[in-house]
């Protein structure tokens, strides 16, 4: 029955012939125990993750960084409008914005720290652009 007749585990996957194990050591999680097939499966998974991470980092991430920063800024401003009274800015609806507290609780402390540590807005803005 052609190729199918060959038992599957006799066909060594192509990457097993590539000396990638040495290269990947320390770069990705290498399984220490388990049988050979499991080890190879795991190596393959990690490799996939590593490659996709690299592609994401070098192409997608750079493109979305600016948008991410913008979204981040708008959210920070929104937090300022919602919870300005925590920083001493009176807010007419501080009572009603409390309802949102459970949903932003985790962001609140770092946000407050960021707001208090702001040095210059110009430098912060300039940092967003790639002048190189």
Partner 1 sequence: MTKPAFRPFSFFGGKGGTGKTTCAAARALALAEEGIRTLVVSTDPAHSLADAFDIAIGEEIGLIAPNLWAIEIDAEVEAQKYMKGIQEKMLHIVSPVIVDEIRRQIEIAYSSPGAEEAAIFDKFIELMEKLNDPYEAIVFDTAPTGHTLRLLTLPEILGAWLEHLLEKRARAVELMSMVAKYDREVRQKLETDPITEILGKRKTKFETARRILTDPALCAFYFVLNAEKLPILETERAIRLLTKYGIPIGGVLVNRVIPEGAGEFLDRHRQAQQGYLQQIRETFSPLRITEIPFLDTDIRGINELDKITGLLKNL
Q: How many Å apart are CA 85 and CA 109, to the nearest integer? A: 14
Facing residues of 25 across strands? Answer: 28
Cβ(115)–Cβ(76) under 8 Å? yes
Stretch that binds partner 1, among 23-31, 36-44, 78-86, 120-128 (CB under 8 A): 78-86
- Least Cβ distance, residue 97 to partner 1 (angstroms): 8
* 99 scored as a contact of partner 1 (CB under 8 A): yes
Task: From residue 30, give the alpha-carbon distance in Å to each of 12, 15, 34, 47, 74.
Answer: 19, 15, 11, 10, 41
* 81 scored as a contact of partner 1 (CB under 8 A): yes
Task: From residue 57, give the alpha-carbon distance in Å to each of 5, 20, 90.
Answer: 42, 21, 42
- Least Cβ distance, residue 17 to partner 1 (angstroms): 32
Phi then psi for residue 25, to 5 deg, are -60, 125
Among 64, 114, 118, 128, binds partner 1 (CB under 8 A): 64
* 89 scored as a contact of partner 1 (CB under 8 A): no
* 104 scored as a contact of partner 1 (CB under 8 A): yes
The contact set with partner 1 (CB under 8 A) reads 56, 60, 64, 67-68, 70-71, 74-75, 77-78, 81-83, 85-86, 91-106, 108-109
């Amino acid at each position: 029955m052609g190729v199918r007749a060959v038992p599957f585990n006799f066909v060594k996957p192509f990457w097993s012939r590539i000396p990638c194990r040495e290269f990947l050591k320390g770069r990705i999680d290498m399984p220490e125990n388990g049988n050979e097939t499991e080890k190879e499966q795991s190596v393959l998974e990690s490799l996939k993750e590593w490659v996709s991470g690299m592609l994401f980092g070098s192409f997608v991430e750079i493109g979305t960084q600016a948008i991410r920063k913008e979204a981040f800024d708008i959210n920070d401003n929104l937090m300022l409008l919602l919870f300005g009274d925590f920083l001493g800015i009176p807010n007419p609806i501080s009572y009603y914005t409390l309802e949102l507290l459970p949903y932003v609780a985790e962001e609140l402390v770092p946000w407050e720290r960021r707001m208090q540590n702001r040095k210059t807005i110009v430098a912060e803005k300039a940092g967003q652009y790639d002048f190189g």
